[in-house]
Structure 1
Amino acid sequence: MFDHVKFGVTNYETSKAFYLSALEPLGVCAGPEGPPHYGIEMYVPGQEASLCLFQCDEKPSRLHLAFAASTPQAVDAFYRAAIAAGGRDHGRPGYRDKYHAGYYAAYVLDPDGHNIEAVFHSREP
C-alpha cells in the first residue's frame, strides 16, 4: 500500500499514454496534470494512493511497481492493455506459487524498462 509514488521518465508523453492505457483495466484514471517537469497524477477513484510521472533529463533507475488487481481477469486485461500500449512482456499472466498459493500476476516492462506488475491475491485455500 502506498500514498503516492512519483518517478521520472525519459519521454513524458509516451510514458503517460502507456500508463493510462495499461492501468485503465485496474480502474486507474488521469488526475491533475501540470507541465511535463511537474507531471501527472493518476489514481483510482475512491482511493487515496496515486501514481505520479514527470519528465526527467537523466535516465531513471529501474523500478518494480506492483498494482493490486481485483480479479485474475483484471490481471489479464492489464497485460493485454500494457502490451498494446507498447509494453514488453516480462512475465505472462499466471499463478506464481513460488511467492504463495493464489498469487496471480503479470509483468511488463514500460517504455523506460521499469518492471510493472498487476497482481491478484486469492484468499481461498
Structure 2
Amino acid sequence: MDASLDFYLTVFAPMGFREAARFDTDQGPVVGIAAADGFPHFWLSPAPVGTRHEAHVAFAAPDRDAVDAVDAVHASAVAAGHEVLHAPRLWPEYHAGYYGTFLRDLDGNNVEAVHHTFGTAAGT
C-alpha cells in the first residue's frame, strides 16, 4: 500500500495529487487521493495478503444532484445485460453518506459509480 500510494503521489504530483482521506480497515488503510479540487476522486485499498483479485475503480458523481447519475449507471448496466454486483444504495458500513452501485466490467474488475457526502448521515 505504501509503495502504491508513493507512486501515485509522486508520479501525479504535477496534477496536484495528494492524500485527502484515510479510513482504517482490518486489511490496512483505504486512501483517497485528490487533485486540484481537493476531493478524493481516486481510491487505493490493500489486497488481502497472498491473494490476487480484480481492480476496484470508483468514479465519483460530483454533487448531490448527480446521485441520479449513480442510479442511471445502474439502469444502463442492467439494460445492457452487464453483471451488477450491488444495486445502488447507501453503504453506511463504509461511511455515512456513501451511496453507490457496483458493477463488473468486461475484464472482471469491480467498477463503481459513487457519491460521497461527508459530514452528514444522509447520502441522498
Between 1 and 2, higher relative CO (CA 8 Å, sep ≥ 6) is seen in 1
Report the TM-score when normalising by structure 2: 0.48
Could you tell me the TM-score, scaled by structure 1's length? 0.48
